[in-house]
Amino acid sequence: MRRENYILDPKGFTLIEVMISLAILGILAAASLSGTRETKASFDRFNARTQLFEDIKLAQAYSASQGCRGIMTLDPDGKGYNFGCDFLGYDTAAVPTPDSVTFQREVPGDISVTASAQIIFNSRGQTVDENFIISNVNFTLTGEIDGASTDFATGMLLGTGIFRYL
C-alpha cells in the first residue's frame, strides 16, 4: 500500500485567497485601532490620577522640608499645574504666588484638572487658605469618555494633609 504525500500546490495562492486574507487583515486592523484609542485614553486617565496624587504628596513634603508656604497653581485651562515655595516676606494682601517654580506638569491627553480653591500648604504640609486657616480642597479630573466630557475622578485634600480619591 502506497502512502501519498500531501503537499501544497507549488503554484501558490489564488487571487481569491489573497483578497479574503487581506479583507480579514483589514477588519482586524480597524478593530485594533479603535480599541487602541480607548486603551490609550484609559492609560491617560490612570496616569493623570496617579501623577496628581504623587505631586500633591511631593508638594506637601517639599513645603515641610523647606519650611515654606507651598503653592500649587493650576493652569487656567486645567491642562497643567506647577508648584513652588513662597518664603517669608510675602504680602498677605496679594494673591499667593511662589517665589520660584520647583516643578511643573502637563496633564496627559484630553484631560483637565480643576480645584475648588487655590492649593496652599503651610510649613507642616497642611492645606490652608490665604489667611492660614486649615481648609479642604476638592479636585476633579475631567476627560473625554465615549465622546462626552466626563468627570472621572474626584478627590479631597483634607486640611490635615491627607489626600484621598472619593
Q: How far apart are CA 111 and CA 43, in angstroms?
A: 11
pLDDT digits 0-9 by tens, 61-115: 999 999 899 999 999 999 999 999 988 766 777 788 888 899 999 998 889 999 9
Looking up cell 487581506, which residue turns up?
22
- Within 13 Å, how many C-alpha atoms sit on residue 37's CB side? 10
Closest CA to 143 of 115, 106, 110: 110
Using DSSP's 3-state secondary structure scheme, residue 155 falls into strand
pLDDT of residue 9: 55
Helix (H) or strand (E) holding 24: helix 15-66
Domains with residue ranges and CATH for the chain? 44-165 (3.55.40.10)
